[in-house]
């Protein structure tokens, strides 16, 4: 960008609009965000301790929202603080392809304009359209990320679908396949009939819904269901072995009874999965369309018959209802059962939860399908492990690796309560379905020819091989992110230096999707944890605590806030008052308040510079002024301590109050008469004291409000470094324990 002309210094009031682009250009030209440049220029020692954060990549086709803004503010504070403390500091930027969301957006646009589906276009053409769309929109999000003042090293930018990352994903798949951890099998999966793809357990959202609950006569039994449309194939009736009501029936006993489309032979199954308390205690099962029923069927080796197809249409097994959509068929089936006198009772006010695809899809219909899975309970030999509790060369499972990473403390989760949630999730973890029936994404690196299967990063030699049509769950590639961004599978210097990363900072809503998968992937492929610390921030809500959404019209746009109040004020409003892991209610008045603070600092500087400059630093301090400087240094300790423990809210609050209430309201006010009335040593001491405290305040505030502090730094007559961004933090780390 063109740096605009420097404005007349200290015009009142402080103008963020003019200053921010100019300051941004200074930072970008300096390339100080790149740790290699810092070492080259002597800002960072070549043997300094590394400090790494990998940015959770925003969706390449998205726009910046307040959640992103909070994430960027937090991470930039940590990064700027550590850089000033002299660490070899790297913050890696990137964007995510967000496979399902992006494809459905592009498909939707094409359908709207051209009335064409992806099948009309074909795979290659759709890919071209998606590539064009992502390429076009990627600069929007990148520009918006930069406007927050984020000191990311753009020379290391990564995109989940770029060539190095694609290669990393292929390599990861092949290695896990070879270790026997990735397998293909017929399992019951979450099928989204709307998007025509599988969905992982974590992507399911349970939505409460009210539906009629039907009681039907099933031979001598009365069974309950909300889904009559699945009942055609039900030829097993399951009761609990201890249920005395059904003691007269034995396991495996066959009964002839009248059912929807005529007489059938039903088999009695005794299984503890039947809940005696629910309904009548008797249920029929539909193994092809229910995870629990499928498990029961497997236990007793029962027949499994598909009733509903991939689009939600009833199959020939439904007899006269075949070809009907399940939604329409339900009432027709009930009507028929009614005619036959098999409806015992209908409970109209039954509430239950329905599984939906949280990624904008439809109601989940469990289906049995041939899919690819990552086996989390399968034993494998881990060649190399740095994770405490997992020995190199020992036999272990992915689940155990994930557990050990956190249980050993190698990865700490803050706030701590999320560790409990993490362990609970691990215990209940089932194999991860990783294949998706969409086209945009990393294609499964497996080829078939007759009965032969080949898995490799490149297509096999020879004719007649056909590649698997499916792509990988987007979280499969995201799981590699901490190391695929650093050049893995090559053994790069970056990977050597910066992995495991120091902190992963993200919203608590994706702990399972992403945090857990990164621990899995890093554990398997590197024998390392991906990060030493997880810091989870809350969600940003509106002033009344509601989620921000388009339909409520309560979205506060970070870019609007930046334009009205400046990026510094926007950042502070997202930091102060936001405790770790708790949601933040954002009120525009607060943003305005912090704009006032930026202006206050601007005016403080004007006063100090009118009365003192760097030459004052040679003056001798009186004892009273020494005490004032010492007090400011104590504040620096407090701020450092709070940042080290992720209490950025307390750190920001402490320095805010010091600068406004202590420095401006008291120290400066008390200085005024001395500056006016006295000459000589006492005055010189005051001048030096003011200047020192100003420098200290600028440094302490820089991570929080980088723009205004850097703008002021540029106007200082003499300064220790060309940019405040790389000035020395006033207190040095107190021990090796800090991260």
Q: Interface residues for RNA in 393-452 (CB under 7 A)?
A: 417, 420-421, 424-425, 428
Considering the complex, state which of residue 15 and residue 492 has its C-beta at the smaller distance from RNA: 15
CB 281 within 8 A of CB 245: yes
Report 139-198 residues binding RNA (CB under 7 A). Answer: none
Residue number, 352 or 728, with CB nearest to RNA: 352
Burial of 192 (0-12, 13-18, 19+ CB in 10 A): buried
Contact of 367 with 312, CB cutoff 8 Å:
no
Residues of span 542-561 touching RNA by CB under 7 A: 543-545
Nearest residue to 337 via CA among 436, 236, 225 = 225
Q: How far is the CB of 226 from RNA (least distance, A)?
A: 4
What is d(CA 125, CA 64) in angstroms, rounded to the nearest whole number? 29
Q: Judged by CB under 7 A, does residue 290 bind RNA?
A: yes
Write the CB contacts of 188 (distance below 8 Å, at least 6 apart in sequence).
288, 290, 291, 294, 366, 367, 368
Least distance (Å) between residue 409 CB and RNA: 19
Contact pattern from residue 108 through residue 147 relative to RNA, giving x for each residue in contact according to CB under 7 A and a dash for the rest: ----------------------------------------
Cβ atoms of 86 and 45 closer than 8 Å: yes
68, 105, 359, 595: residue in contact with RNA (rule CB under 7 A): 595
Binding part of the chain for RNA, among 31-39, 131-139, 268-276, 688-696 by CB under 7 A, reads 268-276
Nearest approach, Cβ of residue 278 and RNA (Å):
3
With CB under 7 A as the contact rule, the residue among 3, 7, 13, 464 that binds RNA is: 13
Of residues 436, 424, 447, the one with CA closest to residue 475: 436
| Separation of alpha carbons 261 and 234, rounded Å | 12
Residue of the chain from 157, 215, 465, 607 that contacts RNA (CB under 7 A): 607
- Least distance to RNA, CB of residue 441, Å: 22
Residue with smaller CB distance to RNA, 46 or 278: 278
Give the end-to-end CA distance of the chain in Å, rounded to a whole number. Answer: 35
82 contributes a contact to RNA by CB under 7 A: no
Of 8, 250, 551, 589, which lies in the binding site for RNA, with binding defined by CB under 7 A? 589
Q: Which of 255, 273, 510, 739 binds RNA (CB under 7 A)?
A: 273
Contact with RNA (CB under 7 A) among 291, 322, 343, 368? 291
Per-residue contact string for residues 618-647; x = within reach of RNA by CB under 7 A = ------------------------x--x-x
Question: Of 206 and 384, which CB lies nearer to RNA in the complex structure?
Answer: 206
Q: In terms of DSSP bridges, do strands 501-507 and 531-537 run parallel, antiparallel, or are they unpaired?
A: parallel
Smallest separation, CB 236 to RNA (Å): 11
The secondary structure element, H or E, covering residue 412 is: strand 412-414
Stretch that binds RNA, among 77-85, 346-354, 434-442, 706-714 (CB under 7 A): 346-354
Instruction: Return the residue of 627, 665, 715, 734 that touches RNA, per CB under 7 A.
Output: 665
* DSSP state for residue 48 in the 8-state scheme: P
Strand segments, DSSP code E, in 200-310 are 204-218, 221-225, 236-239, 254-259, 262-270, 282-284
Q: Residues 354, 552, 617, 627: which binds RNA (CB under 7 A)? A: 354
Binding mask 462-501 for RNA (x = CB under 7 A): ----------------------------------------
Rg (CA), the chain: 31
Residues 6 or more apart in contact with residue 45 via CB below 8 angstroms: 39, 86, 88
Cα angle 37, 42, 45 (rounded to 5 degrees) comes to 95
13 or 180: CB nearest RNA: 13
14 binds RNA (CB under 7 A): yes
Strand 432-433, strand 365-374: pairing: antiparallel
State in angstroms the smallest separation of the CB of 724 from RNA: 19
Pairing between strand 365-374 and 182-192? antiparallel
Interface of this chain with RNA, residues 228 to 257, rule: CB under 7 A: 230, 238
| Min CB(630)–RNA separation in Å | 20
| Cβ atoms of 117 and 70 closer than 8 Å | no
Closer of 23 and 238 to RNA (Cβ): 238
Task: Quote the CA–CA distance of 5 and 18 in Å, as a whole number.
Answer: 9
Of residues 444 and 648, the one with the C-beta less far from RNA: 648
Phi, psi of 329 (to 5 degrees): -70, -30
Find the binding residues for RNA in span 195-224 (CB under 7 A): 201-202, 204-206, 213, 224
Q: Is 674 in the site for RNA (CB under 7 A)?
A: no
**C-beta of 305 vs 583, nearer to RNA:** 583
In angstroms, the CA 88 to CA 86 distance is 7
Residue 15, CB half-sphere, CA atoms under 13 Å: how many? 12
Q: How many CB atoms lie within 10 A of CB 430?
A: 13
């Amino acid at each position: 960008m063109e740096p605009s002309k420097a404005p007349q210094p200290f015009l009142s009031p402080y103008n963020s609009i003019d200053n921010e682009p100019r300051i941004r250009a200074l930072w970008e030209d300096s390339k100080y965000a790149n740790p290699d440049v810092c070492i080259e220029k002597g800002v960072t020692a070549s043997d300094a301790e590394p400090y790494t954060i990998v940015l959770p990549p925003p969706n390449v086709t998205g726009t910046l929202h307040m959640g992103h803004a909070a994430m960027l503010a937090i991470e930039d504070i940590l990064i700027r603080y550590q850089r000033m403390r002299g660490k070899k500091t790297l913050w890696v930027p990137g964007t995510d392809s967000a496979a399902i969301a992006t494809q459905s957006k592009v498909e939707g646009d094409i359908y709207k304009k051209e009335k064409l589906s992806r099948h009309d276009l074909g795979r290659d053409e759709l890919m071209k359209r998606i590539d064009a769309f992502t390429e076009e929109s990627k600069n929007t999000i990148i520009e918006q990320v930069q406007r927050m003042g984020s000191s990311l090293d753009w020379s290391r930018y990564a995109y989940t679908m770029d060539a190095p990352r694609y290669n990393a994903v292929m390599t990861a798949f092949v290695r896990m396949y070879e270790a026997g951890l990735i397998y293909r099998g017929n399992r019951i999966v979450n099928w989204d009939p709307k998007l025509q793809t599988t969905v992982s357990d974590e992507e399911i959202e349970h939505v409460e819904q009210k539906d009629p609950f039907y009681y039907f006569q099933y031979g001598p039994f009365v069974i309950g269901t909300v889904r009559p449309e699945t009942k055609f194939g039900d030829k097993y009736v399951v009761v609990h072995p201890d249920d005395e009501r059904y003691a007269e029936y034995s396991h495996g006993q066959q009964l002839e009874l009248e059912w929807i489309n005529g007489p059938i032979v039903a088999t009695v199954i005794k299984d503890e999965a039947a809940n005696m308390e629910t309904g009548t205690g008797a249920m029929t099962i539909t193994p092809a369309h229910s995870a629990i029923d499928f498990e029961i069927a497997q236990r007793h080796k029962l027949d499994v018959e598909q009733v509903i197809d991939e689009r939600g249409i009833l199959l020939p097994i439904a007899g006269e209802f075949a070809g009907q959509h399940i939604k329409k068929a339900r009432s027709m089936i009930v009507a028929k059962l009614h005619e036959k006198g098999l409806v015992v009772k209908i409970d109209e006010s039954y509430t239950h939860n329905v599984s939906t695809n949280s990624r904008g899809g439809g109601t989940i219909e469990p289906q049995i399908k041939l899919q690819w899975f990552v086996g989390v309970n399968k034993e494998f030999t881990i060649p190399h492990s740095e994770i405490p509790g997992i020995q190199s060369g020992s036999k272990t499972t992915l689940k155990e690796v994930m557990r050990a990473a956190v249980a050993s403390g190698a990865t700490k989760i803050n706030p701590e309560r999320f560790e409990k949630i993490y362990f609970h999730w691990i215990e209940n973890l089932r194999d991860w379905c990783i294949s998706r029936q969409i086209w945009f994404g990393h294609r499964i690196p497996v080829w078939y020819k007759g009965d032969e299967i080949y898995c490799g990063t490149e297509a096999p030699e020879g004719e007649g091989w056909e590649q698997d049509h499916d792509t990988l769950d987007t979280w499969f590639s995201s799981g590699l992110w901490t190391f695929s961004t650093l050049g893995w599978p090559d053994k790069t210097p970056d990977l050597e230096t910066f992995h495991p990363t120091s902190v992963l900072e993200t919203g608590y809503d994706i702990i399972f999707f992403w945090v857990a998968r990164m621990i899995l992937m890093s554990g398997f492929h590197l024998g390392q944890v991906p990060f030493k610390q997880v810091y989870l921030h809350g969600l940003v809500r509106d002033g009344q605590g509601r989620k921000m959404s388009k339909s409520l019209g309560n979205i506060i746009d970070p870019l609007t806030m930046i334009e009205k109040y400046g990026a510094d004020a926007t950042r502070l409003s997202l930091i102060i008052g936001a405790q770790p892991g708790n949601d933040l209610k954002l009120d525009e008045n607060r943003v305005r308040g912090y704009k006032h603070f930026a202006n206050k600092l601007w005016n403080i500087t004007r006063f100090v510079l009118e009365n003192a400059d760097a030459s004052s630093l040679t003056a001798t301090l009186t004892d009273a002024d020494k005490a004032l400087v010492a007090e400011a240094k104590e504040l620096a300790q407090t701020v450092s301590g709070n940042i080290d423990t992720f209490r950025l809210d307390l750190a920001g609050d402490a320095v805010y109050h010091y600068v406004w209430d202590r420095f401006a309201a008291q120290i400066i006010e008390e200085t005024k008469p001395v500056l006016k009335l006295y000459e000589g040593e006492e005055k010189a001491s005051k001048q030096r004291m003011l200047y020192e405290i100003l420098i200290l305040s600028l440094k302490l505030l820089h991570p929080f409000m980088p723009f205004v502090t850097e703008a002021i730094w540029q106007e200082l007559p003499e300064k220790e470094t060309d940019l405040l961004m790389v000035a020395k933090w006033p207190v040095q780390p107190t021990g090796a324990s800090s991260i």
